[in-house]
Amino acid sequence: MARDLEVRHCRALVAVHDGGGVGAAARALGVAQSTVSETLLSLERLLGVPVTLRRAGREAMLTPAAEALLPHARSLIAASEAVMSAGARHGRASVRLGTVESISSFLLPDPLGAFRRQWPGIDVRITIGLCEDLRRRVERSELDAALTIEGANQGAPGLLSPVGLRLIVAPGHPLAGRIMTGDDLAARTLLLSDSEGSFNDLLRSWAARADGQAAFESAGSVEGVKRGVLNADAIGVLPDYAVAEDLAAGSLVALRFDQPLPAIALRLTTLAIPVTGSPLESLAARIRDALIPADD
Backbone angles phi and psi of 35, in degrees to 5: -65, -45
Residue 210, pLDDT score: 62
- Residue 269 in contact with residue 30, Cβ under 8 Å? yes
Amino acid at 223: E
Q: Over pLDDT 90: what percentage of the chain? A: 8
pLDDT-derived band at 135, boundaries 50, 70, 90: confident
Q: What is the mean pLDDT of the chain?
A: 82
Average pLDDT value for residue range 76-83: 76
Pairing, β 145-151 against β 264-270: antiparallel
The CA distance from 175 to 235, in Å, is: 9
Backbone angles phi and psi of 182, in degrees to 5: -60, -35
183 membership: H or E segment, kind and range = none
Chain segment 233-273, per-residue pLDDT in tens: 888 989 888 999 999 999 999 998 888 888 788 888 888 77
Residue among 163, 152, 166 nearest 237 (CA): 166
Contacts of 63 (CB under 8 A, 6+ apart): 49, 50, 51, 52, 53
265 membership: H or E segment, kind and range = strand 264-270
Neighbours of 269 (CB within 10 A): 26
pLDDT exceeds 80 at position 160:
no
Chain segment 108-127, per-residue pLDDT in tens: 998 999 898 888 888 888 99
**pTM (whole model) above 0.75:** no
Rg (CA), the chain: 22
The CA distance from 191 to 179, in Å, is: 19
Helices (H), the chain: 7-19, 22-29, 33-47, 64-90, 101-106, 109-118, 131-139, 198-209, 222-231, 244-249, 279-290
Q: What DSSP character marks residue 184? A: G
- Residue 59 in contact with residue 22, Cβ under 8 Å? yes
Residue 175, pLDDT score: 86
CA 146 to chain centre: 5
